[in-house]
Chain A
Amino acid sequence: MEWEVVIGLETHTQLQTKTKIFSGASTAFGAEPNTQACEVSIALPGVLPVLNKEAVNCAIKFGLAVNAEIAPRSVFARKNYFYPDLPKGYQISQYELPVVGKGAVTIQVPAAGKNPAYEKVINITRAHLEEDAGKSVHGAVEGMSGIDLNRAGTPLLEIVTEPDMRSAAEAVAYAKKLHELVQWIGICDGNMQEGSFRCDVNVSVRPKGSDKLGTRREIKNLNSFKFMQQAIEFETRWQIETLEDGGTIQQATVLFNPDTGETRAMRSKEEANDYRYFPDPDLLPLEVTEADKARVMAEMPELPEAMKARFESEYGLTGYDAATLTASRDVADYFVAAVKAGADAKPAANWVMGAVSAKLNAEEKAITESPLSPAQLASLLKRIADNTISNNAAKQVFEAMWAGEGEADAIIEAKGLKQVSDTGAIEAIIDEVLAANAAMVEEFKAGKEKAFNALVGQAMKASKGKANPAQVNEMLKKKLGA
């Protein structure tokens, strides 16, 4: 039988607010345990939550970015369960009425093997505001478990998709797209190691062609795209094998073990808590007006799709180039900065996507960590444009600039890479080459086009690569009467 995998994602994004969602305590990562736990964070008797408006702005921003409905009235509910890192014994979340409703994002799924790259729309079911829990710390104190409540109350936006994805590659493409988007609009720092962006993946399989969903298992807390890919692939194989062996899938929460590459059931959903959701009487319903939306819209950066269209019309880039550059806000910013510093758009695009990206990949660096600034790249591209250096020489200059050897002009000077554009000097070189290669000249005159290229090569060689190739071409043609 042929099987189809069905995947939906729930992503917890920590919102980049200075203070917690229901109190004034700081949200900064990495402080000493419990130093950012105020009376509200530790749920002392009598304390009350007050909603952080900045968290609401982040949610609205996200809703606008995915063209979602934004609820004029949404409600905070209590999700009741006992756990040591949950100080109140309930989590304040949104249940029946979330702040962000149905929306969508378009993903680019890369080519794989003989399958070409393609685009796909993934529907967002909802996104809701809630508070993060604290952390249990094991092993810090002999024989005891510690509780660190610094994270308790950090604002989260939980983004839930429809079960729209049909492969691990699609799921990863969606997660990457979302990861980029939340950083693009500035609501999340995207730091997966610190837990700012955590994905839960619901996976089920069904016979291809069936329109009934299979029983799903939820892979919890994946904190890298690589693990997500591995986990989904393993889980999919496991579910198919189980079914093919005549077994059944039990709804469950599973954890991925990166060491073994396997998923394993953590607890069965059948013994799951009854969370006894009810509206939190300590908080008023959250109201979002048209004016609120307009205010957030005004603060919104240009979104990737809009920027892509602009790159095509304003800079004459191809759709592919524009999409590649706008896949990441940092890359787009880098490109725009280079153009603003005087680089021509097309070569700038080529260099950013080519040499710069290759270097960054090789060194596993983000573009924000690039040793070559956009202005430096522009200064280099200007020297190509004004014929000071050849493309070949430019590569050497680029390497030197990357290695921190200085600015473009100084390197060109120091390495003597300036190309010769003096007509007299080039003419002298060509005359010399023609004299020394009479046979080739004859061949050319006899109709062998290849001989021309060989003569150009000789001339470039004689100039030690410094002659302006365009000028060499032109003058050679003139001399040969071609």
Chain B
Amino acid sequence: MINSSLKTLGQMLAKKEVSSVELTQAFLNRIDTFNPEINAYISLNHQKTLAQAQAADAMIAAGNAGPLTGIPIAQKDIFCASGWKTTCGSKMLANFVAPYDADVISRFDAAGAVNLGKTNMDEFAMGSSNETSYFGGVKNPWDFTRVPGGSSGGSAAAVSARLCAAASGTDTGGSIRQPASLCGLTGLKPTYGVVSRYGMIAFASSLDQAGPMAKSAEDCALMMNVMAGFDERDSTSLNREKEDYTRDLYNSNPDKPLQGLRIGLPKEFFAEGLDAGVEQVIQAAIAEYKNLGAEIVEISLPNTGLSIPVYYVLAPAEASSNLSRYDGVRYGHRTAEYTDLMDMYCKSRAEGFGAEVKRRILIGTYVLSAGYYDAYYLKAQQIRRLIAQDFEEAFRHCDVIMGPAAPSTAFKAGEKVDDPVAMYLQDIYTISTNLAGLPGMSIPAGFSAGSDGKALPVGLQIIGNYFDEARMLNVAHQYQQVTDWHARMPEGLA
């Protein structure tokens, strides 16, 4: 049951083969067994969770069930959920209980999904290993000595270890796709503006986007049907007609389901810095796509190398301002003793934020300062447009772009904590899509042996044009019909 797809679980619930309470309890039992070790969840509330499961059973009994009704979902602890501790992985918000629901949470609630708990994450979503969390690192279910990636590391580990049926994540520079790659799942970052940011704690407002993390593309499509949609409370939310993200999955030509699909391979994604084992897996996946009828086109994204420097100007600039509200005045951490207002601000923020968050606040404050703004912030905005133009040009020659989601498989815990730049390079293939606002996915494409010989998952990234999520999901789904990488589960967690 814990390995079942969302569709299968939905059918079992509808046929009353299992109740939501039973299904939820099964996941809670697994959480109680494995979470103390893996640390995928920051907050659990069995009582609240089971009450929701009971309500879902009532919905099912009343014939009001939707595809996700009664299904236990884990929510990244970046989403405000009424009555839930919402920490964003920070000491600053360690005791903050949200008094309102994020749009994403409201949508899952309305769909009758069950909130299993709030998952661990890098502090304020700043990190690529989940090691910046105030609540401790998360273990990669494939190898407990390794990181799950980040910042949605808790969600990734929870899905991978089957501590939930699916999870929500957010992606500012790769925070859904890189952990999906490192934990062997399917994760989708939608086009900017497709999922409302209301109630999602801001890191970098112009880049943040929520999306699903699940076992398969089909599961992600069902999640997207719930998560996506216009929200007038988010001015950057796009007012588009409601889509059915599963619409392309079931009507393909069975022999050559992707006949005519043009896959662009950016040469910059297969250059120096890419782990050889990862490259092998990606090339094998591309070969599989040829079998499915796709055609391969070599393309170029010439400004790829600038994406990390641009990102590390713009994201910290926005973050430095977004995080100003954590001042100890109205909520959140306030230092115990202080002499005056300035002392209260300084101590509260010094104590409440971790090192990586402070680093980015300092960078952001610097690049926005008088005299530096033009050279950094403005310049970065200009290059951001060039990066978007690279994609625009590329999509004249192909329908989707493919490459690795991350340059390596999961690395050892502690390996990169003292080298922020090495950590930042984890997002080299994912960041440019955030800068362009494009949708991107990572899907399991095979395994590569790590330094100690253990097989670790490798993710294939699929980048689509704006609003092409349904097509991307089908491109992923067809691959998952002929491969079983996505269905594999880490050992020792039965």
Of the residues B79, B205, B232, B321, contact of A276 by C-beta under 8 Å? B321
Q: How far is the CA of A80 from the CA of B232 in the complex (A)?
A: 26
Q: Are B369 and A89 in contact (CB under 8 A)?
A: no
Q: How far is the CA of A431 from the CA of B321 in the complex (A)?
A: 95
Contact of B88 with A by CB under 8 A: yes
A90 / chain B contacts, CB cutoff of 8 Å: 321, 324
The minimal Cβ–Cβ distance linking B322 to chain A, given in whole angstroms, is: 9
Contact of B220 with A by CB under 8 A: no
Q: Knowing A39-B100, A88-B324, A284-B236, say if A46 contacts B199 (CB, 8 Å).
A: yes
Q: Are A84 and B235 in contact (CB under 8 A)?
A: no
Q: How far is the CA of A469 from the CA of B341 in the complex (A)?
A: 78
Residue of A nearest to B381 (CB): A279
Task: Identify whether the interface residues of A are mostly helix, strand, loop, or mixed.
Answer: loop
Contact of B390 with A by CB under 8 A: no
* Interface-side segment among A8-16, A48-56, A289-297, A458-466: A48-56
Of the residues A42, A45, A274, A281, contact of B86 by C-beta under 8 Å? A45
Contact of B197 with A by CB under 8 A: yes
Q: Knowing A45-B88, A47-B198, A278-B368, say if A87 contacts B325 (CB, 8 Å).
A: yes
The minimal Cβ–Cβ distance linking A275 to chain B, given in whole angstroms, is: 8
Of the residues A48, A147, A281, contact of B206 by C-beta under 8 Å? A281
The minimal Cβ–Cβ distance linking B262 to chain A, given in whole angstroms, is: 33
Q: Are B235 and A80 in contact (CB under 8 A)?
A: no
Contact of B329 with A by CB under 8 A: yes
Q: Knowing A89-B321, A282-B205, say if A47 contacts B199 (CB, 8 Å).
A: yes
Of the residues A50, A89, A281, A282, contact of B232 by C-beta under 8 Å? A50
A276 / chain B contacts, CB cutoff of 8 Å: 320-321, 365, 368-370, 373
- Tell me the number of A-to-B contacts counted with CB atoms below 8 Å: 95
Contact of A78 with B by CB under 8 A: yes
Could you tell me which residues of chain A, from 254 to 268, have a CB within 8 Å of some CB in chain B?
Answer: none
Of the residues A44, A84, A147, A274, contact of B331 by C-beta under 8 Å? A44
A45 / chain B contacts, CB cutoff of 8 Å: 80, 86, 88, 93, 96, 98, 201-202, 325-326
Q: Are A278 and B317 in contact (CB under 8 A)?
A: yes
Of the residues B88, B205, B324, B377, contact of A80 by C-beta under 8 Å? B324
The minimal Cβ–Cβ distance linking A133 to chain B, given in whole angstroms, is: 13
Of the residues B102, B232, B323, B327, contact of A46 by C-beta under 8 Å? B102
B200 / chain A contacts, CB cutoff of 8 Å: 46
Residue of A nearest to B234 (CB): A48
Of the residues A44, A78, A147, contact of B80 by C-beta under 8 Å? A44
Contact of B345 with A by CB under 8 A: yes
Q: How far is the CA of A39 from the CA of B93 in the complex (A)?
A: 16
Q: Are B235 and A278 in contact (CB under 8 A)?
A: no
Of the residues B317, B330, B369, B373, contact of A87 by C-beta under 8 Å? B330
A282 / chain B contacts, CB cutoff of 8 Å: 202, 205, 235-236
Q: Knowing A89-B321, A278-B373, say if A46 contacts B201 (CB, 8 Å).
A: yes
B325 / chain A contacts, CB cutoff of 8 Å: 43, 45, 87-89
Could you tell me which residues of chain A, from 269 to 315, have a CB within 8 Å of some CB in chain B?
Answer: 274, 276-278, 281-284
Contact of A82 with B by CB under 8 A: yes
Q: Are A46 and B202 in contact (CB under 8 A)?
A: yes
Could you tell me which residues of chain B, from 350 to 372, have a CB within 8 Å of some CB in chain A?
Answer: 365, 368-370
The minimal Cβ–Cβ distance linking B385 to chain A, given in whole angstroms, is: 14
B93 / chain A contacts, CB cutoff of 8 Å: 45
Could you tell me which residues of chain A, from 50 to 97, have a CB within 8 Å of some CB in chain B?
Answer: 50-51, 78, 80, 82, 84, 87-90
Q: Are A80 and B198 in contact (CB under 8 A)?
A: no
Contact of B99 with A by CB under 8 A: yes
Contact of B318 with A by CB under 8 A: yes
Of the residues A48, A78, A147, A274, contact of B330 by C-beta under 8 Å? A147
Could you tell me which residues of chain B, from 303 to 360, have a CB within 8 Å of some CB in chain A?
Answer: 317-318, 320-321, 323-327, 329-331, 341, 345
Q: Knowing A44-B331, A48-B197, A276-B369, say if A82 contacts B236 (CB, 8 Å).
A: no
Residue of B nearest to A37 (CB): B330
Contact of B233 with A by CB under 8 A: yes
Residue of B nearest to A24 (CB): B233
Q: How far is the CA of A89 from the CA of B320 in the complex (A)?
A: 10
B202 / chain A contacts, CB cutoff of 8 Å: 45-46, 282
A47 / chain B contacts, CB cutoff of 8 Å: 198-199
Q: Are A274 and B198 in contact (CB under 8 A)?
A: no
Q: Are A82 and B235 in contact (CB under 8 A)?
A: no
A278 / chain B contacts, CB cutoff of 8 Å: 317, 321, 368, 373, 377
Q: How far is the CA of A261 from the CA of B368 in the complex (A)?
A: 40
Could you tell me which residues of chain B, from 414 to 444, have a CB within 8 Å of some CB in chain A?
Answer: none
The minimal Cβ–Cβ distance linking A232 to chain B, given in whole angstroms, is: 30
Q: Are A281 and B205 in contact (CB under 8 A)?
A: yes
The minimal Cβ–Cβ distance linking A283 to chain B, given in whole angstroms, is: 5
Q: How far is the CA of A45 from the CA of B321 in the complex (A)?
A: 13
Q: How far is the CA of A214 from the CA of B476 in the complex (A)?
A: 68
B368 / chain A contacts, CB cutoff of 8 Å: 80, 276-278
Q: How far is the CA of A84 from the CA of B326 in the complex (A)?
A: 11
Q: Knowing A44-B80, A84-B329, A274-B369, say if A50 contacts B235 (CB, 8 Å).
A: yes
The minimal Cβ–Cβ distance linking A39 to chain B, given in whole angstroms, is: 5
Residue of B nearest to A34 (CB): B330
- Identify 11 new A-B residue pairs, CB closer than 8 A, beyond the known A44-B99, A48-B198, A89-B321: A45-B98, A48-B197, A48-B234, A50-B234, A50-B235, A89-B324, A147-B330, A274-B369, A274-B370, A278-B377, A282-B202
A to B CB contacts below 8 Å, 25 in the list: A42-B330, A44-B80, A45-B86, A45-B93, A46-B202, A47-B199, A48-B197, A48-B235, A49-B235, A50-B232, A50-B234, A80-B324, A80-B368, A84-B327, A84-B341, A88-B325, A89-B323, A89-B324, A89-B325, A90-B321, A147-B329, A276-B368, A276-B373, A278-B321, A278-B377
Q: Which residues of A contact B (CB under 8 A)?
A: 39, 42-51, 78, 80, 82, 84, 87-90, 147, 274, 276-278, 281-284
In the A-B complex, the 8 residue pairs with the smallest Cβ-Cβ separation, listed nearest first, are: A89-B324, A281-B206, A276-B368, A281-B205, A46-B199, A45-B201, A43-B325, A46-B80
